[in-house]
Amino acid sequence: MAEAFCPGLIGVQATSETAIAEAAELATLLGLPLLDVDAAAAQDRFAALLLVSPGVLALSVPDRPGQKPVQVDFGAAGMRHRRRGGQNELLGRAVGVGKKSPLRVLDATAGLGRDSFVLADLGCAVTLAEREPVVAALLRSGLVRAGNSADAWLREVSGRMVLAEGDVCLMDAATLVQQDVIYLDPMFPPREKSAAVKKEMALFQALFSRPAALGDADALLAWALRAPVARVVVKRPLKAAPLADRPPSHAIRGKAVRYDVYVLSGPAPG
């Protein structure tokens, strides 16, 4: 199978002298080339750059200068706004918030962690699995930043989130057996039209060679349904077929997305 990720296309660059050591450490960790702080010309050789500032990691695409770099910022206005939207309530109902405290949710496709953060804000203890090392690095940076925030709410919510880098299908049995629910959002469907979502999709599609391989998502569902959990929840575009054409026990429909809920005979929450 082709490698999912094209490391040669991404460079790491510090945005100031004070972040050089952090950038060098990250480049070594990810096996990516390190650019000099002032290497403006060299940027063209890369599809994307991981920009390291003290305490903040961001991913930018040099040939799209108008676009703001993507970063994980759980304290951003968008996250706070989302908190008040009805969408959160749907996600909470889908995973079964209220059935147990804390409900332990494995977000098997954590991405930039927005759904995980919503779940943690609803009181769930969330394990975030992410297999793409660059995305995992962005997540780690966002979690550390939230944990060090002056905002007590951010510190408390991020305190319920734990990153588990790697392919979730290879997760150790001891971690898996602790989970009540597995949540899947495996694809980047064009389900939202906002500029921010388009920007992220373009970035991710530029970086990953199998961004939305349907077969991959079907296999992920098959794995989740074999796991020792009480339920599996899959986020789908509103009108899409269920993953693997496997009908859920029930579905919760929002304006743009649907949550397919598979109730299993695994350990019941509560």
Ligand X SMILES: C[S@@+](CC[C@H](N)C(=O)[O-])C[C@H]1O[C@@H](n2cnc3c(N)ncnc32)[C@H](O)[C@@H]1O
Q: State the minimum distance, in angstroms, from the CB of residue 195 to ligand X.
A: 16
Mask for 91-120, x = binds ligand X (CB under 6 A): -----------------xx-xxxxx-----
**Interaction residues for ligand X, span 153-182 (CB under 6 A):** 167-169
Nearer to ligand X, 92 or 186 (CB): 186
Judged by CB under 6 A, how many residues of this single chain contact ligand X?
Answer: 20
> In 54-208, which ranges are E strands?
56-60, 104-107, 125-130, 161-165, 181-184
Angstrom CA distances, 9 to 14, 32, 78, stand at 17, 9, 29
Please give the residues from 172 up to 231 whose contact with ligand X meets the rule CB under 6 A: 185-188, 220
- Angle, alpha carbons 251-269-136 (nearest 5°): 75
Over the window 21 to 60, marking each residue x when it contacts ligand X by CB under 6 A and - when it does not, the resulting string is ----------------------------------------
What are residue 213's DSSP bridge partners? none
Dihedral sign, Cα of residue 226, residue 247, residue 130, residue 153: negative
Instruction: List the beta bridge partners of residue 106.
Output: 127, 182
Q: Tell the smallest beta-carbon distance from residue 168 to ligand X (Å).
A: 4
Residue 140 interacts with ligand X (CB under 6 A)? no
Q: Are 183 and 105 in contact (CB under 8 A)?
A: yes
Nearer Cβ to ligand X (59/264): 59
Contact segment (CB under 6 A) with ligand X among 12-20, 125-133, 153-161, 253-261 equals: 125-133
C-beta separation of 210 from 6 below 8 A: no
Binding footprint of ligand X on the chain (CB under 6 A): 108-109, 111-115, 129-132, 135, 167-169, 185-188, 220
